Chains A and B, each alone.
Chain A
Amino acid sequence: MKTIFERSRSGRRGLLIPPCDVPEVELDSLIPRRFQRGAPPALPEVDQLTAVRHYTALSRRNHGVDSGFYPLGSCTMKYNPKVAEDIARLAGFARLHPLQPAETCQGALALMHDLERYLAEIAGMARVTLQPAAGSHGELLGLMIIKAFMARRGDGERRRVILVPDTSHGTNPASAALAGYRVVQVRSGPDGDVDIEDLAARLGEDTAALMLTNPSTLGLFERRIEAISGLVHRAGGLLYYDGANMNAIMGISRPGDMGFDIVHFNLHKTFATPHGGGGPGSGPVGVVRELVPFLPVPVIEKGPGGYYLDHDRPLSVGKLHAFYGNFGVTVKAYAYIRSMGPDGLRQVSEDAVLSANYLLSLLRGHYDLPFDRPCMHEFVLSARKHKELGVAARDIAKRILDYGFHPPTTYFPLTIAEALMVEPTESESVETLDAFAEAMVQIARDAVTNPEMLRTAPHTTAVRRLDEVAAARNPVLRWKRRDSEKGEGA
């Protein structure tokens, strides 16, 4: 497909700007020449219809939850209610400036204040901030809070290690390194749970925290979480909850009750805000009472005169977003929680776990199952047997594309060879799950009878398999006019 630059023709435009109603002074008299650019930037020159057709054509080359099943494990690709989109676009939300005087944005502050409290209740935390723009931003904030708390307690110098399980998501160790910590991995045991002995051996005077996802990234409930919490706390460390998998436990179990001290949420997963093609998300952070003074500024307070933003927090870690995070996303999460209510949220988790167990029951026997335990909202299969036939998890994923489904997450967690991580979510009907299972079973058969067909998949997509190695070896990261096109277009 052509790029927008290849559709450009000199002199065309897609929009009129109102005529200027103040004097149009010579630019040189306002801005010295040496500050001005020579040639204007080579932006496309297209009429509006050409632009709209271009982006419509692009959208048709993209698969979203609205296009079809999207069981991308760990990402919780559930249905994104349409009404929330309408609500976030209301002028009273979308067309607000973050620095408006508090008396002119009481509705927005009330919404944020209440959402913080809802999330605190769901996770069993004392207080929540909405500032982080994504899950990993929340992780970074959580680690900043740990650091500030321990510095104040007096043992920050010594506690320089963050423990993460070998199954953890890559953002956990990356966030810890960004926060200036040393990362040490803890083994998971043969049942998929954290190996308690290995954990005990690695805990010590230098431990700042253990970061854990529960259910784990294997889709399994960490059964010894209370013991883990005891061990970590006795060693003087804190327990951090990666909330990516909270879709399994809403109204069923709370991280705060499990012993976690800090929690991040992924509103773009659990709370049905759309993933936007890779963002924006939102990664609020909740903390236990002792850590509240360290939350980033500003915090929203309610006084006799209404809601206001409090910047005067001497122990705060500071700020990690220019304003208050992805407000527009939090509006959608608020709408979701209000439309679900307490029973609805619990139902969401029950259904998510039921769907996953159901789908697992259909695939069991056709793919290797590393841990034969009841799964939570997702499960991890291994294609290691297929690999022996010359068909990798990647090939299976590419073949799934031909059926019009988005493939599961592949090659994560890193501890599972040829991993396929499947998360159906609560949104999907039994018919969809059956159809997906049927495709997966057929692919498993084809791996034996026609491995070449899988190795060359996909066959029906807009483009065939793309050469990622070549892309990385010889990076072409922007469009450039070829010599043959000179003189034409922009």
Chain B
Amino acid sequence: MVMLSRLGLDSSSELFRELPSSLRMSRPLALPAALSELELLKTLKALADGNLNLDEHPCFLGAGVYDHYVPSVVDHVLGRSEFYTSYTPYQPEMSQGMLQAIFEYQTLICELTGMEVANASLYDGGSSLAEAALMGCRASGREEVLIARTVNPFYREVVATYLRTAGFAIREIPLDESGAVDLDLLAAAAGSGTAALILQSPNFFGILEDLEAAGNILRRRAPAASFVVSADPISLALLRPPGELGVDIVVGEGQVLGNHPSFGGPLLGIMACTEKLLRRMPGRIVGETTDAEGRRGYVLTIQTREQHIRREKATSNICTNQALNALAAAVYLTVLGKDGLREVAFNCCWKGHYARERFRSLRGFAIPYQGPCFREFVVNCPIPPAELNSALIRDGIIGGYPLARHYPEREELRSAWLLCVTERRTRAEIDRLAEAAAAAAALSPVFPSPEGGTVLENDL
């Protein structure tokens, strides 16, 4: 009212006098009536309670989002409202906190991946992979991207969507019987028209890809192409960093680093690359500099790549990214530290293998892929995995991911289940899963008789 009267106006509708009357709404929006905070909490709590959550139910789902423990410290730091109510640090003198945190995040990502430079984050692992593919196309001037079918099928869909729109081609390379990309077929497909090769390791089935061998093939057959690898940051505590293996661009899903699953978002798109590709990299980048008194400080830098300066000539359209999730990753890596992250990775590895062996010995279940794995593995089930999942839910367990929809061409994946075991799962939970799965299978009419002769329904 004070403002209206100081403006000499009677009503706020006068403020909208430039809007043609034909465009003014003549009715209120058809939305539910306002709720008080107390009512709001009750309503939203009821919606939240309509879901089975991972705190109360052991979960064996992975496939791109993982149930790792998020240390208490992470959420407390993220709850500092100086961080979460700020925006992109356009005014560095007032934003040193976020800038330094991102600079440290970039350093941590370089340490994990062995790459020279990292950006401040992209949306998620899938869109980061698509951006990397586009970088490969632009850097090489070639138009066909090779992608292994062992890459997460959701990521492949995102890459295909981006490339199709931008007018580039994509070719998928099948897998071999070990569950890794078929290197012979890769060698046959790579050539002078190849813009990039995309592998994921550990791949969608949890199997480690032979990045060194694939990289050698690519260098020999398609020297102009970029080698793009989607890597899991926790596995990198144990595995050879892609930077040692001639990889040009590393991307990955950073959700595992201190971010809750949150029904699949917000996630954290990691991207790191060689110094040579720096000016083709999308996204914000923080750099160190000095202030007028010579003190160390941080600013957004190499901005001549970006949309607000280059417009249609920019390397990407990224503006808002996933800064707070990158902060979570930095805090996570800091509190876990050098030893802690290794221990988490070891735990995933040991527990994953323990679970895999447990299923190998269960009657009616089989392990189709024998390659070395990390955290995830494929199980062939005697009954459709979706049925197993339903039975497990009755036992309070969230089971695995049925694979058939994504691999109609693979006989061995018709009734396959992707299981994931993080450090949060206990031996007792894994045993419970195995026992409940075995019991559910035994009760099912389609269970194979000990003499063989199964009657398998196609899953999904």
Contact = CB atoms under 8 A, between A and B. Distances in A.
Interface stretch (A175-183, A201-209, A443-451): A175-183
Interface string B349-360: 111011000000
Contacts of A176: 312
Contact of B263 (A72, A96, A279, A463): A96
Interface string A324-346: 11111101001101111111111
A361 B12 CA distance: 15
Interface in B312-328: 312-314, 316-325, 327
B390 A274 contact: no
Contacts of B274: none
Interface in A110-149: 110-111, 118, 121-122, 133-137, 139-140, 143-144, 147
B174 interface: no
A385 to B, nearest CB: 23
Nearest to B115: A478
B350 A64 contact: no
Nearest to A377: B15
Choose among A30, A105, A175 the residue with the greatest number of B CB atoms under 10 Å from its CB.
A30
Given A170-B311, A174-B316, A321-B124, A64 B389 contact: no
Contacts of A52: 73, 76-77
Interface stretch (B184-192, B338-346, B432-440): B338-346
Nearest to A101: B389
A257 B26 CA distance: 12
B240 A35 contact: yes
Given A339-B34, A350-B15, A278 B423 contact: no
B45 A277 contact: no
Contact of B354 (A23, A88, A105): A23
B221 to A, nearest CB: 22
A201 to B, nearest CB: 20
Question: Most chain-A Cβ atoms within 10 A of its Cβ — which of B12, B37, B154?
Answer: B12
Interface residues of B, number: 199
A251 B29 contact: yes
Contacts of A281: 320
A27 B83 contact: no
B247 interface: no
A38 B244 CA distance: 10
A178 B316 contact: yes
B162 A464 contact: no
Contacts of B7: 354, 357-358, 361
Interface string A51-72: 1101111111111111100101
Given A15-B335, A91-B48, A118-B31, A479 B393 contact: no
Given A15-B340, A37-B239, A62-B86, A322 B354 contact: no
A465 B291 contact: yes
A320 B162 contact: yes
Contact of B313 (A177, A321, A343): A177
A461 B94 contact: yes
A101 B237 contact: no
Contacts of B307: 136, 170-171, 173-174
B30 interface: yes
A25 B264 contact: no
B229 interface: no
B19 A221 contact: yes
Contacts of A251: 25, 28-29
A345 to B, nearest CB: 6
B93 A463 contact: yes
Contact of A30 (B67, B318, B349): B349
Nearest to A178: B317
Contacts of A277: 83-84, 86-89, 98, 101, 323-324, 327
Given A277-B87, A322-B158, A468-B301, 16 more contacts: A3-B107, A31-B208, A37-B237, A37-B241, A44-B337, A58-B100, A62-B94, A89-B75, A135-B320, A136-B320, A274-B85, A277-B98, A456-B292, A463-B291, A466-B299, A478-B106
